[in-house]
Structure 1
Amino acid sequence: MRGMSSWAATAGSAIRAARHRVSTERESTAGIMFFIDPPPTVRVCWRVADRTSGIPLCSASTTDKGRYPSANEQERDMSSNHVPGGVRLASVVTTAALLLFLAFGAASGQSGALIEPVTDAELAATPNGDWLSFRGNLSAWAYSALDAVNTETVGQLDFAWAAAMEDGPNEATPLVRGGIVYLPQPEDVIHALDARTGDLIWEYRREHNYLDPEGADPARRFGQGLGRITRNIAIWQDGLFVATMDAFIIRLDANTGELVWETRVGDSRMAHSSGPIIADGKVISGRSCNMSVAGGCYLTAHDAEDGRELWRFYTIPRPGEPGDETWGGLPLERRFHVGAWHVGSYDPDLGLVYWGTSVPAPSPEVLRGSGAGSLLYSNSTLALRADTGELAWYFQHLPRDNWDLDHPFERILVDLEMEPNEEATWSINPELEHGDRRRVMTGFPGKTAILWTLDRETGEFLWARETVFQNVITHIDAHTGTVTVNEEVIPKARDEEYGVVCPAASGGKDWPTAAYSPLTEAVYAPLQDVCMSPIITGTGEGPPQGYGINFRMQLAPNKTTVGRLDAVSARTGESLWRFEEPAGMMSVMTTGGGLVFAGNTNRRFRAWDAATGDVLWETVLGGPVTGFPVSFAVDGEQYVAVTAGGGDLLSGLFNRFGNLPARSGANMLYAFKLSDTAGRGPIEQPTLAAAAPVDELPPMIMIDAPLLDGSAPCATFSAEQAERGAALYQEQCAECHGPTLRGGAQGAALAGRSFTSYWQNRAASGLYRTIRETMPQGREGTIGPAASADLVAFLLSENGAEATGELGSDVDTLDGQRTCFRQ
């Protein structure tokens, strides 16, 4: 644990005193303008401006002297990202803080620094006092080793302080170093706060400088919409690094808020909703591009010292490059979108950066003209060499996207013995040796909410597990991990409807991040049970202005709640526990105290026991808890902090599905610490009425069946029965449940994890009676005993059970036989 040094504490007090002294004086700001020549030289012009008008009260003339060239100059020109003229850098800090920074250092003989420089080793380490990366470390664990707040003491966790934030979409992650909180906010406002009190030390407020392509409408700037979100910033040495809404990468001085350098990386068609990571002195960042941007989006690396672009990797292959053939012959000018808009991970031992990508545009392939191409590198994990940007390997989680099911989310890096459980997982590589210790990339990288585990050194597929109900993927090849998509939910013509697609474009998992705990070797994921019935709205003519579909979202079949927190073993794939609720679940953090923290869209912020799933503590905040929780220590005390307020794209949607008030609140950062007088456990919530149906699927009526222990024999059936059942299924069931058993317009899926997770090891009589007594709906009881047994045999066979004998129709016999699936 690292606390603020005594002189820095004095500085914080002096700053607050100085702020008080100038409160009756004319409010003004001090600005510093830097001009960089290659090789790097710095000219400084001091100016004072009126804070309300921004008009300089004094000025000095300077001259722009050029810029740093891009590492891929020709391709940058093609994408209209050429930076004309010079690079101008400007920042704003409070007069009091700036004067104190200068005066205090001279008077005390100190350098004037608020914090000690942050090293590469600290960024890679498990947090144990500070919080230095987006999700704590470069492996994206979202875990703090601090344990003062634990399963025994969390009931004494109490409010410590709150700090007001800017209005706008609030998805912020504070960073904490040596008693200073660095808080990113909407529209590129950054605050430095005293971590003990939340008092403001300095503020950076950006003056945006957009580059509009010829003919562009400034009112439609992509960055002014999506780019208003600032999920995270990065810290390294004494610098803070921000990816801005006007398409710059900038470095601020962490001690003063002054701008050190800025480099333009795009025009007004680019947006940064997430910030960079630092990998061995390189600022690695991804971004989102407007759907009309041809040639795709890109990742970049910049020198953290001077802002030079070092490399650029495009997410859509160029003609002649590997992957070009996956676009169905489309020319580059008709290949659109594929962003990299979330935050990556980094393994310093392997020198590899791991970043996820999003979807092509428009969504329906009948509008794209790409045929059945897999469309690299959409919905993929990219493993890039940090030094050069070279692609080491890739893995495509969802080819041929037709549904806006992005896969750019966090990649969790751990070293574990692999022992995947056959009954818990969907697909396991047969070449994986049980107990083999691997360096893996694991977690929930995409909206399908499938847990993927890959060897992060080679990209080799190891195993995968379904969680929420999904019907876009029908098969994962056990040897390669290659995905087969469901043809039943891909329209073949513009006037053809999709049917019911699960999950919805809002994601079974979306940008709220999961967390890993080394104590339980489990991943804790915020998931949502939502589906959609999309219709095509685009024409396919000209560059797309959107995804070309109306999503029409709804609750998943058989569900009355939206949000869930799933605890899944990263070693075996087995479910440890699940928490479900009406509200949407937001980002997660784990701690050395054996706790899991997460908030929801209904203002609740909770702590669970990581081992059992019991709710141990809960509080109600001022708005949806849309920020990313962190934990830090100051003066020997552990704090837990999170931002809330809402304004995001998910809260209102999920609250509506849960029949909850779809409201946002004032954006705030809340901090909590232990108190001797606190005593807050779970807050009892009122019983909520069921959500009003939104074109919801009728549930599958199921006869309850008891779970049987492993000593009960598995239900037997013959291959001939399964064949007869297949024919009966197409006649009697396919219209509602879909010809491939993956769900249809009127019925739930009868294959995959959503089906087997319920029926596994239950008495076979339950499945038999469900068919015999309740199906088909509207004609219940018309399927005879032998036919019902044949249908059970078919369902068992399609879900991996082995044909070992004849299945009877005697209910008493079936009561003692369990359904056994081998997937």
Structure 2
Amino acid sequence: MPAQAGRRRSPNPRTAHPTNGRRRSARGRRIAHPRLTRWRPMAARAHTMRIRRSPRIAWRVVMQMSSPARIVLVLLVVGIAGATLAPAGSTVAHAQSEADFVPVTDAMLQDPPASEWLMWRRTLDGWGYSPLDEIDRSNVGELRMVWSRAMTEGRQQGTPLVYDGVMYMPNPADVIQAIDAVTGDLRWEYRREVPEDIGDYVFNTLWQNNRNLAIYGSYIIDTSADDHIFALDATTGRLAWETRILDYQENPATQTSGPIVADGKAISGRSCMPAAGPNGCVITAHDPDTGEELWRRRTIPAPGEPGDESWGGVPFEERKHVGAWMVPSYDPELNLVYIGTSVTSPAPKFLIGGTDLQHLYHNSTLALDADTGEIAWYYQHMNDHWDLDHPFERLLVDTAVAPDADAVEWINPRLNPGEIRKVMTGIPGKTGVVYTLDRETGEFLWARPTITQNVISGIDGATGAVTENPELIFTAEGQEMLTCPHATGGKDWESVYTQPRGQVYPGCVDGIVI
């Protein structure tokens, strides 16, 4: 495994709430990103894909997401007499008392108080479920705005944490705010200096994305556009430590989703740019108290490692872009971290060794030992020729497994209907297919599509092996294929909601709830 990237502690933490952070420049080469694929809108969630050779970068999909110039964070509450409204435009900053702050522990993360939202989906199993019941069907129509606050410009995809009455909000471009959840007052704001040349190495504005934070001890922990992991004092916003994970000029990656803390380890994945090569495609664990790197797991095997044969004779340096760009889940009992991966670059496999190769570990679920980062098991959801990543949340549920044969297309014939199993389920990828696996072993249990799709033609219930539609697999340059869904997927990064009765509510790209 690659050696630790290095750690440096800030002896003089930067001011926590400047209004205009100075942006530092960094010298380096400019990387061209010529397109290898051309996307043509044909029908809802379908695309035509044309293959053509690029002399520099192997493959790229270009899509623009519109973003309002200013997004407003809004708090809604049920109209109750005596509710206090924050003054319009209030921006007074005041730090929380360190003496009053109760450090967040592993026990709290594994069983959070009902009133707190301590991680991206509230719990380590990825449910996104709150047991609070004050707002229900009888009064939801009475919700009204109590306060609002402008957020920073850019791509807004963040989910706030809430702890002890304070909301910690990840904003685009490495801005973090601590906000009084009752009044909307700003407690502190941290603006990290972003290198001026970051856009030369990460195409589009993906580097702005900041979907989640972690909280542990007295720290707010995040990953940065320039490929660091760092911690802020939760009461003041001052930088406590930072550690470089990658050199963004040599191995550029996008830290679009921050870490979770699993058994005292801050674990994070990232999307690696094609220019990053295989060594940029890593999942890492760091000590949340010091920033020390504990382990590093590459998602592309090197020669001699398990899975190397799945790339055929493709040289190691030409194996690219298998990122893990969403937030993992964690099972404390099994001590396993579950995380998904993305497509290779280029996506069409005839360009990288052949269409019959697996190219591990792309578009897979990885179950990692939280202590070492070793792969306990993996399951490959498909051999992806079309940029249909599978990095989305893995839902962990203990449940009776009894799929309805009339409604579920692919079922393991060895299942004992009604048997209680520890499962990992959900829609892990853009195909919109629900997969349910045994999360102890990775055994395939059942799967079914939730949208119209034509890329998967079958799944062997006994082995879980996926067969892709042979009519859509590229074999030469100049071919065009009409696929459904397209690269934004039947599902994308929008999160799924699960509740104790077992229903799963996925949020789809076009806003449909299934």
With normalisation by structure 2, the TM-score equals 0.81
Corresponding residue to 1:122 among 95, 101, 108: 108
Corresponding residue to 1:457 among 415, 440, 444: 440
Report the secondary structure of 1:453's partner residue. Answer: strand
1:243 paired residue number: 223
Corresponding residue to 2:304 among 302, 316, 320: 320
1:533 paired residue number: none
- State how 1:330-729 maps to structure 2 within 5 Å: 330-399=314-383, 401-498=384-481, 500-518=482-500, 520-528=501-509, 562-566=510-514
Corresponding residue to 1:158 among 139, 144, 148: 144
1:231 and 1:179 mapped to 2: Cα distance?
Answer: 21
Task: Spell out, residue by residue over 1:691-718, the C-alpha distance to the aligned partner (whole angstroms, 9 max, x if none).
Answer: xxxxxxxxxxxxxxxxxxxxxxxxxxxx
1:802 paired residue number: none
- Pairs aligned (count): 438
2:192 paired residue number: 206
Report the secondary structure of 1:414's partner residue. Answer: strand
Q: Judge conservation of contact 1:356–1:380 (CA < 8 Å) in 2.
A: yes
Greater RCO, CA 8 A, separation 6+: 2
Report the secondary structure of 1:281's partner residue. Answer: coil
Report the secondary structure of 1:292's partner residue. Answer: helix
Q: Judge conservation of contact 1:419–1:435 (CA < 8 Å) in 2.
A: yes
1:52 and 1:422 mapped to 2: Cα distance?
Answer: 59
Paired letter, 1:380: S
Q: Which has the higher helix share?
A: 1
Report the secondary structure of 2:513's partner residue. Answer: strand
Task: Spell out, residue by residue over 1:119-175, the C-alpha distance to the aligned partner (whole angstroms, 9 max, x if none).
Answer: 212212266111111011111101000011112221222222211100000001010
Paired letter, 2:361: Y
Note closer, same or farther for the CA distance 1:39–1:371 as it changes in structure 2 (3 Å cut): closer
Structure 1 unaligned regions, length at least 5? 1-37, 56-94, 106-110, 211-216, 529-561, 567-823
Q: Judge conservation of contact 1:229–1:274 (CA < 8 Å) in 2.
A: yes
Paired letter, 2:488: S
2:118 and 2:195 mapped to 1: Cα distance?
Answer: 29
Q: Judge conservation of contact 2:424–2:437 (CA < 8 Å) in 1.
A: yes
Paired letter, 2:449: E
Paired letter, 1:203: E
- State how 1:153-302 maps to structure 2 within 5 Å: 153-208=139-194, 219-222=199-202, 225-268=205-248, 269-295=252-278, 297-302=281-286
Shift of 1:219: 4.8
2:14 and 2:198 mapped to 1: Cα distance?
Answer: 31
Shift of 1:368: 2.5
1:383 and 1:459 mapped to 2: Cα distance?
Answer: 8
1:368 and 1:40 mapped to 2: Cα distance?
Answer: 38
Shift of 1:281: 1.2
Paired letter, 1:565: V
Q: Judge conservation of contact 1:169–1:186 (CA < 8 Å) in 2.
A: yes
1:150 and 1:39 mapped to 2: Cα distance?
Answer: 47
Note closer, same or farther for the CA distance 1:230–1:96 as it changes in structure 2 (3 Å cut): same
Note closer, same or farther for the CA distance 1:51–1:193 as it changes in structure 2 (3 Å cut): closer
1:424 and 1:441 mapped to 2: Cα distance?
Answer: 19
Note closer, same or farther for the CA distance 1:201–1:247 as it changes in structure 2 (3 Å cut): same
Shift of 1:496: 1.8
Shift of 1:232: 0.5
Shift of 1:489: 0.4
Report the secondary structure of 1:484's partner residue. Answer: strand
Q: Judge conservation of contact 1:472–1:485 (CA < 8 Å) in 2.
A: yes
Paired letter, 1:250: F
Shift of 1:371: 3.6
1:51 and 1:317 mapped to 2: Cα distance?
Answer: 44
Note closer, same or farther for the CA distance 1:40–1:433 as it changes in structure 2 (3 Å cut): same
1:147 paired residue number: 133
Note closer, same or farther for the CA distance 1:289–1:201 as it changes in structure 2 (3 Å cut): same
2:341 and 2:21 mapped to 1: Cα distance?
Answer: 41
- Cα RMSD of the aligned pairs, angstroms, is 2.5
Note closer, same or farther for the CA distance 1:418–1:130 as it changes in structure 2 (3 Å cut): same
Report the secondary structure of 2:440's partner residue. Answer: coil
Note closer, same or farther for the CA distance 1:136–1:41 as it changes in structure 2 (3 Å cut): closer
Structure 2 unaligned regions, length at least 5? 1-5, 24-90
Work out which of the two has the higher radius of gyration on C-alpha atoms and give 1 or 2. 1
1:208 and 1:312 mapped to 2: Cα distance?
Answer: 24
1:201 and 1:488 mapped to 2: Cα distance?
Answer: 57
**4+ residue runs over 4 A deviation:** 38-55, 95-98
2:76 paired residue number: none
Paired letter, 1:222: V
Task: Spell out, residue by residue over 1:43-66, the C-alpha distance to the aligned partner (whole angstroms, 9 max, x if none).
Answer: 4489899966869xxxxxxxxxxx
Note closer, same or farther for the CA distance 1:188–1:451 as it changes in structure 2 (3 Å cut): same
Q: Judge conservation of contact 2:10–2:241 (CA < 8 Å) in 1.
A: no
Report the secondary structure of 1:527's partner residue. Answer: coil
Shift of 1:430: 1.4
Corresponding residue to 1:329 among 308, 313, 319: 313
2:323 and 2:283 mapped to 1: Cα distance?
Answer: 9
Report the secondary structure of 1:155's partner residue. Answer: helix
Paired letter, 2:448: R
Note closer, same or farther for the CA distance 1:451–1:47 as it changes in structure 2 (3 Å cut): closer
Note closer, same or farther for the CA distance 1:42–1:232 as it changes in structure 2 (3 Å cut): closer
2:88 paired residue number: none
1:141 and 1:502 mapped to 2: Cα distance?
Answer: 28
Q: Judge conservation of contact 1:223–1:270 (CA < 8 Å) in 2.
A: no
1:346 and 1:418 mapped to 2: Cα distance?
Answer: 21
Note closer, same or farther for the CA distance 1:433–1:343 as it changes in structure 2 (3 Å cut): same
Note closer, same or farther for the CA distance 1:371–1:162 as it changes in structure 2 (3 Å cut): same
Report the secondary structure of 1:310's partner residue. Answer: strand
Shift of 1:511: 0.6
Paired letter, 2:505: Y
Q: Report the identity percentage.
A: 50
Note closer, same or farther for the CA distance 1:208–1:477 as it changes in structure 2 (3 Å cut): same
Report the secondary structure of 2:276's partner residue. Answer: coil
Task: Spell out, residue by residue over 1:356-377, the C-alpha distance to the aligned partner (whole angstroms, 9 max, x if none).
Answer: 0000011222333334211110
2:117 and 2:366 mapped to 1: Cα distance?
Answer: 26
1:306 paired residue number: 290
Report the secondary structure of 1:437's partner residue. Answer: strand
Note closer, same or farther for the CA distance 1:46–1:424 as it changes in structure 2 (3 Å cut): closer
1:513 and 1:50 mapped to 2: Cα distance?
Answer: 32
Paired letter, 1:249: I
- State how 1:3-82 maps to structure 2 within 5 Å: 43-44=11-12
